[in-house]
Structure formats: structure tokens, C-alpha cells
Structure 1
Amino acid sequence: MGTEGDVVWRRIVAIVIDVVLIGVVSSAITGILGQVRLAFLGSLLGLLIGFGYYIYLEGTYGQTIGKMALDIVVVTEDGDPIEYGPAAIRTVLRIVDALPAFYLIGIVAVLVTDRKQRLGDIVADTVVVRAGETAGMQ
């Protein structure tokens, strides 16, 4: 059956952890490059780091550092590990899920869908569950 409903608060905390980590790294890079008048390049690198962070970690492990800390994982709707394609779809749609502010669209979608999926999950055919509880999902 899966445990999608059990992970809503864990997902929110994981997002906060991930955003803080990405923000710290991006700010440091932008600050360093800003010293040599390349702040725009730093901002661009920060954006690429953010996208790369989610795509690589979720595509490789099914988890970001935030998800690892909260013991949740992204899997296909059948319970299989996700690959880079679905990870990329989820990541690009974070832009929409984050609108108009504070992940409002994503949070509303999670609260109203049966499998607690944000828009990125729905399009990528993924769910977020507790780690280790993916066997036998349908």
C-alpha cells in the first residue's frame, strides 16, 4: 500500500534542509565571485548547483540530504527506484510547485491528492515514502 500519507511533515522538513544547504553553498559561491565582479556567474552557478543537487541525488539514491535525514525516499508509483529522467522532471517542476511562494502549489497538491503527490510527483509518476517501505507497492 505504501506510506505516502505518513511523510507529509517529513517532506516539508526535508525541503527546508535542502533549501538551506543549497542556499549556503550558492551564497558562498556568489559572494566569492562577487568579489571579482562575477556575481551574475555565481548566481547562475548557484541555480545549476540547485538543479544538479536534486537531479543527481534523487536520480542516484532516490534521496537528497534532507530526505536522508528524515528517512524518506522518492520511488516510482510501483515502488521501484527512480532514475535521472523522473528526477529531472520532479526538479524542473519544483519551479511551479514553489509558486506563488513557500511551495504553496506543491503543499496544496500534497494535501489534496490521495498519494500525497506534488505536481512534480504526478507528472514524473513518483511518490515519496518512508525508506525501506517500497516492497509490494501498487
Structure 2
Amino acid sequence: MASEQTEPTKVLWRRLLHLVIDGLLIGTTAILLGLVVLFGLTVGLARWITFDVAFAVGVVFFVAAALLGPIVNEVWIPHRSRSGASVGMRIAGIQVIMLDGSKPPLKAFALRYLLMVVDGMLWGLVGLVVVLRTPRRQRVGDLVAGTVVVRRGSVDQPVLPGPDRDLGAVPETELALDAPKV
């Protein structure tokens, strides 16, 4: 009998919330950066630069922010932070840890990011199915990188325990009737 905290949908909603928040953050940043550059070049350098050139430079800054933003947010920020979480993960109350409970290295975050291509296939349906079908609610990137997404605050534990309703990412196992409860 699974507890309320271990329902697959609860974990899924936290992960989806993090993706929405991160997407809005990166998209808004890219648009604002492009507009600021466009406006700055158009107004500040109006005598030397035409609107067409300013627009092209603004588009270049927008594209650069749109391409580099996800890498910074999904790889660099979690790697450099103590919590192992992007901005959206912090707000959603989740973080990434290795299966042994340690903080993931840069390589693990990079693998998770690169394999988002696989998880995002068919409008994210592949990732959704994999998360719902794996015992620790891992997507393909997590499986390959050896990471798991858990609720924030569980990093202090030396080893990631077996299924535990307090982590929120792993379902509760059924105990045999004659097995002693620990």
C-alpha cells in the first residue's frame, strides 16, 4: 500500500513544475536580453547603426541566450550549487543526487542534459513513460548518469536507502508477511 507521498503522480508533478519554471525563466531571459540589446543599440548608437543591424544583433543575443540558457541552468548551476538543483528544482523542492547519495559530478549533469533529447521525444511522452515505469522514477538521463531526483534535504544521508516514502521519489516496497519489520 503506497502512501500519499509516494504516488507516481506527485513526483511527476514536481518534475513537471520544475520544467515549466525553468522554461519560463530561460525563455523570458532570452527575450529580455534580445530586446535590451536591440533597444540599446537602436537608441544608444542610432547615428552609427541602422535598425536592421541592431535587430540582427538582438536576434543573435536572443538565440545565444536561448541555446546557452538551458545548459547553464541544467548543468552549470546544479553542479556549482550545494544542493544539486536548478532554479526550477529549488522552487519545486527537488534535487539531483547520485544513487549512493553523493553530489553528482559535472559529467552526470551533462549526461542528464544531453539525454533530454531522448526523454523529450514525442513531446515528452518517452520521458513520461520511463519515469512512471522505473522504480525510482528516473528518466533515461537519470538511468544513464546514475542519478535520481529526490526531495530537497535528503543529501545528508550517507547512502540513498531503498524505497522510502520520505524521499518522495521512490515507491514503497511490499514486505513479506513473515519478514521482520525494521
Q: Given the two structures, how large is their TM-score scaled by the length of structure 1?
A: 0.85
What fraction of aligned residue pairs are identical, expressed as a percent?
A: 33
**Aligned-residue offset at 1:96:** 2.2
Paired letter, 1:104: L
Distance 1:4 1:31 in 2: 43
Q: Which residue of 1 aligns with 2:91?
A: 69
Distance 1:8 1:124 in 2: 19
Q: Deviations over 1:18-57 (max 9, x none)?
A: 1110110112223445661131452133211221111112
Matched, 1:20 2:24: yes
Maintained 8 Å contact 2:33/2:61? no
**Aligned-residue offset at 1:4:** 9.7
Maintained 8 Å contact 2:94/2:149? yes
Q: Which residue of 1 aligns with 2:170?
A: none
Give the number of aligned pairs: 135
Distance 1:40 1:105 in 2: 32
Following TM superposition, the consecutive aligned residue runs of length 4 or more in structure 1 with deviations greater than 6 angstroms are none
Q: Which residue of 1 aligns with 2:146?
A: 125
Distance 1:117 1:30 in 2: 35
Q: Which residue of 2 aligns with 1:79?
A: 101
**Aligned-residue offset at 1:113:** 0.9
Maintained 8 Å contact 1:15/1:66? yes
SS of the residue 2:154 aligns to = coil
Residues 32 and 98 of structure 1: CA distance in aligned 2, closer, same or farther (over 3 Å): farther
Unaligned runs of 5+ in 2: 1-5, 40-53, 162-182
Unaligned runs of 5+ in 1: none
Matched, 1:108 2:125: no
Alignment of 1:32-71 (within 5 A): 32-33=36-37, 36=54, 37-38=56-57, 39-61=59-81, 62-71=84-93
Q: Given the two structures, how large is their TM-score scaled by the length of structure 2?
A: 0.66
**Aligned-residue offset at 1:81:** 1.0
Q: Which has the larger radius of gyration?
A: 2
SS of the residue 1:68 aligns to = helix
After superposition, the CA RMSD in angstroms is 2.1
* Larger RCO: 1 or 2 (CA < 8 Å, sep 6+): 1
